[in-house]
A and B are shown apart, each in its own frame.
Chain A
Amino acid sequence: MARRNEVKLNECKMAVSLSTWVLISNFKLAYNLLRRPDGTFNRHLAEFLDRKVPANANPVDGVFSFDVLIDRGTSLLSRIYRPATAEEPQPNIAELEKPVTAEVVPVIIFFHGGSFAHSSANSATYDTLCRRLVSLCKAVVVSVNYRRAPENRYPCAYDDGWTALKWVNSRPWLQSQKDSKVHIYLAGDSSGGNIAHHVALRAIESGIDVLGNILLNPMFGGQERTESEKRLDGKYCVTLRDRDWYWRAYLPEGEDRDHPACNPFGPNGRSLEGIKFPKSLVVVAGLDLIQDWQLAYVEGLKKAGQEVKLLYMEQATIGFFLLPNSNHFHTVTDEITKFVSSDCIKTIGERIMQCIGALLCVDYVCLFKCFLG
C-alpha cells in the first residue's frame, strides 16, 4: 500500500515545480478533511482554512478591487477588479463605478473553481488570478461569489451566474465607448468553467451577447468511466472518488452524472446546432483525469458547428495556472489575451480602417446637423 502511494506521489512531484506541488497537495489534504463520507461538508473548517484577502480600493500593481452586493436575497457578492489608469493612479474611493473610458473594454465574468464546494471569490488564489487577468487583458474582471454545494445544489450556481451576467450587462459604467455595449466574456476554472458554459447557454435568446467563453480545466463528467479517468485516478492529486463526491454534492439528489449539468453533450444533453453560442477557448491539462470529458465537450461544440479552440497542455496538472512558474502558465495567458482582444483591433491595417470609418461617420452626422439647423 505504501509503495503504491510512493509511486503516485513521486510521479506527481516530478511533473510540477516544488511550490506548485506543495500548493496543490495542500489543497488536496485540506479538501480530504472537509468531505465527509455521508455527503456533508465541513463548511466551518473550510472557511477557516481558506486563505482570503479583502478587496482593495488602493491599486496594487495597477489593479484595484471592490466588492459589490449584486443580489441581497441570495447575498450574492461579486468582486470587481479594474485597472488603475495613468490619469488616475489612485482612484477616488467614492468613484469606484466610474465609467470605463477605452474604446473597447473586455469585461470578464469569472467563476472561481473548487468543484462547486470549495473556495470563494475572495480566496487568495482566485484574487491573485483575477488580478493577473486584468493586467493581461486590460479588462475589467467580475468574480462571482456563487453559492456552493452541498448546501446549495444545482441550479444555484448557474442562477447566480445568470444574475451576475444580467447585472454586468446592465451597468452603464461598463459599456465600451465604441458601441455603448458591455463586451462580456465568461471565464472559469474547474466548476467555474462548467458554470461559464451553462450561463452562456442561458444567455442564448436572451438578447445578452456573450463574446466568448474561456474554460480552464472545466469540470465535466458522465456515468461512464473513461480511459483517462481509469489511467490517471489518484495520480495527480485528484481521485475519481472525490470527483464522484462533488457531483453527488452538486447535482440534484437522485440524479446521476449523465445529468446535463455534468454531461452537456451526453444522453440528456442539448444539441447546440444552429444556435448562436459564443466562441470558446478550452484549456485541458494532460495530467487531469477528467480530460476525456473535456475533450468530448470540445468535440460536442465542434460537431454543432461552434467555434472552439482547444489548448491541450500535455504535461500540465490541475491548478497549473495558479502559479506563474511554468511554460504552461504563460502559453495559456498569452492565448487568453489574444482570445479576448481579438474583438478589439486585430491588425494595424484594420485599426486604420476603423478610424477612417469613425471619422466618416462623424462627418456625416455633422453635415446632417448643419442641414437641419
Chain B
Amino acid sequence: MKRDHNHLQPNPDPSSLRGAPSTGKAKVWDEESAQQDCGMDELLAVLGYKVKTSDMAEVAQKLEQLEEVMCNVQDDGISHLASETVHYNPSDLSTWLESMLSELNPPSTFDPFGAAGTAAAALDDSFLVPAESSTLTTLDFDNINRKHQKSGQQIFEEASCSDYDLKAIPGKAIYSQKTQPQTHDSSSSSTPTNVKSEKRFKSTSGPPSPSDIFPPPPPPAAASYGIPTASTRPVVLVDSQENGIRLVHALMACAEAVQQNNLNLAEALVKQIGFLAISQAGAMRKVATYFAEALARRIYRFYPQNPLDHSFSDVLHMHFYETCPYLKFAHFTANQAILEAFEGKKRVHVIDFSMNQGMQWPALMQALALRVGGPPAFRLTGFGPPSHDNSDHLQEVGCKLAQFAKKIHVEFEYRGFVANSLADLDASMLDLRPSEVEAVAVNSVFELHKLLARPGAIDKVFSVVKQMKPELVTIVEQEANHNGPVFLDRFTESLHFYSTLFDSLEGSVSSQDKVMSEVYLGKQICNVVACEGVDRIERHESLTQWRNRLSTAGFSPVHLGSNAFKQASMLLALFAGGDGYGVEENNGCLMLGWHNRPLITTSAWKLTNKTTAISQ
C-alpha cells in the first residue's frame, strides 16, 4: 500500500507529501504542467503509480503494444500472464509493462519450468523469473482448487511442504525425534562450535533515568534518519470506541501524566484503569491491563528484568508462532526471497540473526532439496543471546536441523554464535568463503530494531553485513513507529498497534496458545512503555524509516513478487480468523495486516555496490 507519499520517489522528499489538491487551485488539466517531484507525474503518484512525466508517452506506447498483442493472441496465450508469470512491483508501471511484453514476445519459447537466467538477474527489478521453479511449492493452486475442490490444508500436504505440518514442541524436544549426542560424519554436518564473544557488553547499568525523552541516536554522517519523516498513522477501530472510550481516555491521560512527571495523578489514573478494564470484554481488556501494568512499572520504577529467562521466552515464542500467522508469514516470505536469490548456486550460506529455535529453516531446506537440479550444500550460522541455565540451546537447535538435513539429503553445516548483541559480531568470526564459491543470505526477523537502543550499533551491524557480501538480506520488522522521541506518541501508537494484534488473536482456537501469545506480546508492551535507554529494545520503526536507513547504509531493494504474495495469502487462510488477515504489496515489500492495518513487513535487500563492500 501507499504510506506517506515519500516512498514513491527514489529520493524521499518530505515536502512532496500531498493528498488531494485543495479546491482553491486553478483548474489545471495539462499534466505536463503539473508539479513534478523528481520528475514523477504527481497525479498518478497519488493513485499509487510511479511514472516519470518524461516516460508517460513511452508507458502509453507499451500499453498499446500489450493491447495489440493481447488482441492477436488467443485467450490461453495470455492466461499464463495471470497464472504463471511472476509480477513485481506494479507501482513501477514502465518496468511492469516491459516485463509482460518480454514475456509475450516471443511466446513460442516460453518455458515456465525452465531455469532461465541467473540468480543475479533474478534480483534485477525488470527481470521476470519463471515462477514455478522458484516457489516453495510447485503446484498451481488455482487448478488444484478447481479440479479437486480440496481444502487448503490438504493441498499443502500434497505439496509436501512440511513447514505447515511442522509442529513445534516447546522446550528441549523441539522435534519429535529424541535428541542424542551424535558423532557427525562429514556428509551431514560439522561439529557446531559456539564462540562466546569476548566483547560482551556489560549488563544493565542501573535503572534508567526517569526522563521521558530519550535523545535520538546521533545521526551518521550521511543522513538524519534518526528522526522519522512525517509519518502515516494507520488506525483500525475493531470495537466501537463508545464502549471502551473511557478506558482509552484514562490510559491516555495516565500516559500524559507520566510524561509530565505528575506521578500522583498518574498513580490515581492507573488504579482507575484497572477498574475500567474489568468492565471490558476480550482484547480491549487484556491490552488495557498490559498497558496499565507497564505504566505502573514506569511510575513505581519497578522495571522488568531484562533479558528474560531463555527457556520461558522460547515457550512464549513457540506459542506465538503457532497461534497466529505473523512468524510463519515472516519465515515464509523471507524464505521465498532467499530461495530465489540462491537459484543456480551450488553452495549457500544463511546467516540468521534471529535463530531462536530455528523454525524458519526446515522449510527452506526442504525447498532446496526439491529444487530442480538438486540441493546446494547448505550452511547455516545462527546467532542468539546467551541462556541463563548455561545450556547450549544453539547447539541443540543445530543438532535437530542436522538430523533433518540428513533425512532430506541436504549437505549441512552449522555454527552457532552466542552474543548479547548483534553489534558484537565481526565478519572475521564467520569463516566466510569467497562469494563465487558460496552465496550468502543474511536473515533478520524482529531483531534489527533492538540495535537502535545503542548509538552506532545499527551502523556497525550494517557494515558487518556488507562485509559478508550477501546476495540477499531479508528483514522482517513490525510495521509501526514505536521509537519516536515523545513518550505519549509512542504510547498512543503502541496502544493502537497492540490492540490490533490482540484483536487478531481473539479468534484463535486454543486459549492456552492465546494466553501465551498475549504474555509474549505483553512483554513487548512493557518494554515499549516502561523502559528507557539501552533497556528499551522494542524500538519498532516503519518501513519508510527502514528504507531510509538501508538505502543510506548502501542497500537497494529486491522485490518480492506475486508468487510470494499469493502463497502468503493462502497461508493466511489456514488460520482461524483468516478473513481478517490480509497481505499487501508495497513497492516490492510484503505487509501482513489485520483488517487493513499493516502489522509486519518483509523486505529484501542487496548491496547497492558490491565492490565497495570491503572498504566499509
A 44-79 to B, binary, CB cutoff 8 A, 1 in contact else 0: 110111011111111011110011110010010100
Give B67-83 interface residues, CB cut-off 8 Å to A.
67-68, 70-72, 75, 78-79, 81-83
- Asked whether B22 is an interface residue with its Cβ less than 8 Å from the other chain, the reply is yes
CB distance from A289 to the nearest CB of B (A): 17
- Additional 11 contacts, C-beta under 8 A, given A26-B63, A66-B235, A172-B242: A1-B72, A5-B68, A21-B60, A25-B63, A36-B82, A55-B236, A56-B232, A67-B595, A69-B595, A124-B1, A125-B47
20 contacts between A and B (CB under 8 A): A2-B72, A5-B67, A22-B56, A25-B64, A26-B49, A36-B82, A40-B142, A44-B570, A49-B562, A51-B48, A52-B1, A55-B236, A57-B233, A57-B235, A60-B18, A67-B237, A69-B238, A93-B235, A135-B20, A136-B23
Which residue of chain B has its CB nearest to the CB of A234? B71
- Asked whether A37 is an interface residue with its Cβ less than 8 Å from the other chain, the reply is yes
- Asked whether B451 is an interface residue with its Cβ less than 8 Å from the other chain, the reply is no
CB distance from A88 to the nearest CB of B (A): 15
A48 lies within 8 A of B87 (CB): yes
A55 lies within 8 A of B20 (CB): no
- Asked whether B176 is an interface residue with its Cβ less than 8 Å from the other chain, the reply is no
- Asked whether B580 is an interface residue with its Cβ less than 8 Å from the other chain, the reply is yes
A325 lies within 8 A of B252 (CB): no
Evaluate whether A75 and B580 lie within 8 angstroms (CB atoms) in the complex, with A18-B56, A122-B596, A325-B31 already known: yes
Evaluate whether A22 and B59 lie within 8 angstroms (CB atoms) in the complex, with A2-B72, A136-B23 already known: yes
A128 lies within 8 A of B596 (CB): no
The CA-CA distance from A34 to B83 in the complex, in Å, is 9
A22 lies within 8 A of B1 (CB): no
- Asked whether B615 is an interface residue with its Cβ less than 8 Å from the other chain, the reply is no
A55 lies within 8 A of B235 (CB): yes
The CA-CA distance from A48 to B48 in the complex, in Å, is 13
Please indicate which of the listed interface residues B3, B47, B63, B579 has the most CB atoms of chain A within 10 Å of its own CB. B47
- Asked whether A350 is an interface residue with its Cβ less than 8 Å from the other chain, the reply is no
A330 lies within 8 A of B27 (CB): yes
Q: Which residues of A contact B43 (CB under 8 A)?
A: 19, 323-325
Q: Which residues of A contact B231 (CB under 8 A)?
A: 58
Q: Which residues of B contact A60 (CB under 8 A)?
A: 4, 17-19
Give A1-58 interface residues, CB cut-off 8 Å to B.
1-2, 5-6, 9, 13, 17-19, 21-23, 25-26, 29-30, 32-34, 36-37, 40, 42, 44-45, 47-49, 51-58
The CA-CA distance from A126 to B144 in the complex, in Å, is 34
The CA-CA distance from A333 to B24 in the complex, in Å, is 13
Evaluate whether A52 and B579 lie within 8 angstroms (CB atoms) in the complex, with A9-B67, A13-B60, A29-B63 already known: no
Evaluate whether A19 and B597 lie within 8 angstroms (CB atoms) in the complex, with A58-B230, A69-B238, A324-B21 already known: no
CB distance from A365 to the nearest CB of B (A): 29
B44 lies within 8 A of A23 (CB): yes
Q: Which residues of A contact B429 (CB under 8 A)?
A: none
The CA-CA distance from A218 to B448 in the complex, in Å, is 49
Q: Which residues of B contact A136 (CB under 8 A)?
A: 23
Q: Which residues of B are in contact with A by a Cβ distance under 8 Å? A: 1-4, 17-23, 27-31, 34, 41, 43-44, 46-49, 51, 56-57, 59-60, 63-64, 66-68, 70-72, 75, 78-79, 81-83, 87, 90-91, 93, 142, 146, 230-242, 245, 248-249, 251-252, 492-493, 495-496, 562, 565-566, 569-570, 579-580, 582-585, 595-598
- Asked whether A326 is an interface residue with its Cβ less than 8 Å from the other chain, the reply is yes
The CA-CA distance from A59 to B598 in the complex, in Å, is 19
B585 lies within 8 A of A131 (CB): no
The CA-CA distance from A135 to B64 in the complex, in Å, is 36
B562 lies within 8 A of A44 (CB): yes
- Asked whether A327 is an interface residue with its Cβ less than 8 Å from the other chain, the reply is yes
- Asked whether A322 is an interface residue with its Cβ less than 8 Å from the other chain, the reply is yes
B596 lies within 8 A of A51 (CB): no
CB distance from A82 to the nearest CB of B (A): 12
Evaluate whether A132 and B1 lie within 8 angstroms (CB atoms) in the complex, with A18-B57, A18-B60 already known: no
A48 lies within 8 A of B596 (CB): no
A54 lies within 8 A of B20 (CB): no
Evaluate whether A18 and B31 lie within 8 angstroms (CB atoms) in the complex, with A32-B70, A58-B233 already known: yes
The CA-CA distance from A137 to B501 in the complex, in Å, is 35
Tell me which of B64, B72, B90, B565 contacts A51 (CB under 8 A): B90
- Asked whether A363 is an interface residue with its Cβ less than 8 Å from the other chain, the reply is no
Q: Which residues of A contact B44 (CB under 8 A)?
A: 19, 22-23
Which residue of chain A has its CB nearest to the CB of B18? A61
Give A122-152 interface residues, CB cut-off 8 Å to B.
122, 124-125, 128, 131-132, 135-136, 145
**Closest 8 pairs (CB-CB, A-B):** A51-B48, A54-B234, A60-B19, A124-B48, A52-B1, A61-B19, A53-B2, A44-B566
Please indicate which of the listed interface residues B49, B66, B91, B242 has the most CB atoms of chain A within 10 Å of its own CB. B49
- Asked whether A97 is an interface residue with its Cβ less than 8 Å from the other chain, the reply is yes
Which residue of chain A has its CB nearest to the CB of B59? A22
Evaluate whether A34 and B82 lie within 8 angstroms (CB atoms) in the complex, with A19-B56, A93-B496 already known: yes
The CA-CA distance from A124 to B45 in the complex, in Å, is 10
Tell me which of B4, B67, B75, B570 contacts A25 (CB under 8 A): B67
The CA-CA distance from A248 to B584 in the complex, in Å, is 28
- Asked whether A96 is an interface residue with its Cβ less than 8 Å from the other chain, the reply is yes
The CA-CA distance from A26 to B565 in the complex, in Å, is 21
A58 lies within 8 A of B67 (CB): no
Q: Which residues of B contact A68 (CB under 8 A)?
A: 236-237, 240
The CA-CA distance from A9 to B446 in the complex, in Å, is 49
A9 lies within 8 A of B595 (CB): no
The CA-CA distance from A49 to B249 in the complex, in Å, is 39
Tell me which of B67, B82, B235, B598 contacts A42 (CB under 8 A): B82
Tell me which of A1, A66, A322 contacts B71 (CB under 8 A): A1
Which residue of chain B has its CB nearest to the CB of A42? B82
The CA-CA distance from A77 to B241 in the complex, in Å, is 15
Q: Which residues of B contact A47 (CB under 8 A)?
A: 565, 569, 582-584
- Asked whether A348 is an interface residue with its Cβ less than 8 Å from the other chain, the reply is no
B569 lies within 8 A of A44 (CB): yes
The CA-CA distance from A135 to B23 in the complex, in Å, is 7
- Asked whether A370 is an interface residue with its Cβ less than 8 Å from the other chain, the reply is no
CB distance from B266 to the nearest CB of A (A): 17
